[in-house]
């Protein structure tokens, strides 16, 4: 099989198929969180690092006013083209999730699949949370999902997904190659095995995620006191199953509310 090295984000059609295939659980979870945890009516939404807008389009179709930003122009174009195709404004912009300012406050923001960990430093992470806090109206939510690094037990080392749409099949695999807890860096490899009626090939990419133990993330949140933690869930997205952070915790969805 031919291997193409490059950024997976430069192939939004394939990226969207893999990560957009299981949108319903996140969609339902987000709406339930808006209802349960926000102290204001949620109508306007913002997604930092929105990528292809796999959730933005579904939320727009459900009646929300949506917007987002991302560093990848290919993803932004894909997102806006789809929004426009369904009659919505081209509301995603090219931008840095750690350096942005919205013209008007929103009622909720969300970032559910580890994109936060692309931020390479404590300063960038703090700036991101400050930007989000500034973008939220009082009582609004930031729903942030990420993998923490457990300090007890073996961390999860790999994940695989498959998705199909028509004649397009993609098998995806992500593997943790090395983790340096002193430098706070996890190095990963990710592949998309792509199958079409006329071609088979593999897309290969590497990425670096900043690591967070539970105490490290708690310390970060203390630097942005405008956001308070109101509940914790895991990646099962079940509203009746809340969690508490401990040394073994990995998958966490933080529900943060603007004071």
What is the full per-residue pLDDT of the chain (259 aa) written as tens digits? Answer: 999 999 999 999 999 999 988 899 999 999 999 999 999 999 999 999 999 999 999 999 999 999 999 999 999 999 999 999 999 999 999 999 999 999 999 999 999 999 999 999 999 999 999 999 999 999 999 999 999 999 998 888 999 999 999 999 999 999 999 999 999 999 999 999 999 999 999 999 999 999 999 999 999 999 999 999 999 999 999 999 999 999 999 999 999 999 9
Burial class (CB in 10 A: 0-12, 13-18, 19+), 160: exposed
Closest CA to 10 of 73, 68, 90: 73
**Sheet harboring 158-165: ordered strands across?**
2-5, 200-210, 185-195, 168-180, 158-165
Helix (H) or strand (E) holding 44: strand 44-48
**Rounded Cα distance, 173 and 153, in Å:** 23
Q: Cβ–Cβ contacts within 10 Å for residue 71, how many? A: 14
User: How far is it, in rounded angstroms, from Cα 121 to Cα 101?
Assistant: 20
3-state secondary structure of 81: helix
Between β-strands 44-48 and 106-111, what pairing exists: parallel, antiparallel or unpaired? parallel
Q: Considering the entire predicted model, what is its pTM?
A: 0.97
Q: Phi/psi class of residue 154: alpha, beta or left (left: φ > 0; alpha: ψ in -120 to 50)? A: beta
**What is the C-alpha to C-alpha distance for residues 42 and 84, in angstroms, rounded to an integer?**
23
């Amino acid at each position: 099989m031919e291997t193409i090295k490059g950024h997976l984000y430069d192939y939004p059609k394939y990226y969207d198929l893999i990560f957009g295939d299981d949108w319903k659980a996140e969609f339902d979870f987000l709406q339930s969180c808006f209802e349960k945890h926000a102290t204001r009516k949620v109508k306007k939404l913002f997604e930092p690092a929105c990528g292809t807008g796999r959730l933005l389009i579904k939320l727009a179709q459900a009646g929300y006013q949506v917007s987002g930003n991302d560093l990848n122009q290919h993803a932004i174009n894909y997102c806006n083209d789809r929004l426009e195709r369904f009659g919505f404004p081209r509301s995603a912009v090219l931008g840095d999730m750690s350096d942005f300012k919205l013209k008007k406050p929103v009622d909720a923001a969300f970032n559910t699949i580890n994109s936060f960990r692309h931020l390479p430093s404590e300063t960038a992470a703090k700036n991101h949370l400050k930007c989000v806090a500034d973008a939220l109206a009082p009582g609004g939510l930031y729903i942030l999902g990420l993998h923490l690094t457990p300090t007890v037990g073996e961390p999860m080392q790999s994940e695989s997904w498959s998705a199909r749409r028509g004649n397009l099949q993609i098998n995806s695999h992500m593997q943790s190659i090395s983790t340096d807890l002193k430098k706070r860096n996890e190095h990963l490899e990710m592949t998309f095995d792509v199958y079409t009626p006329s071609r088979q090939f593999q897309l290969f990419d590497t990425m670096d995620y900043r690591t967070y133990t539970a105490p490290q993330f708690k310390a970060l949140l203390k630097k942005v006191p405008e956001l308070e933690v109101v509940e914790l869930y895991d990646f099962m997205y079940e509203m009746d199953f809340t969690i508490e952070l401990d040394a073994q915790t990995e998958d966490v969805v933080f529900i943060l509310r603007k004071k």
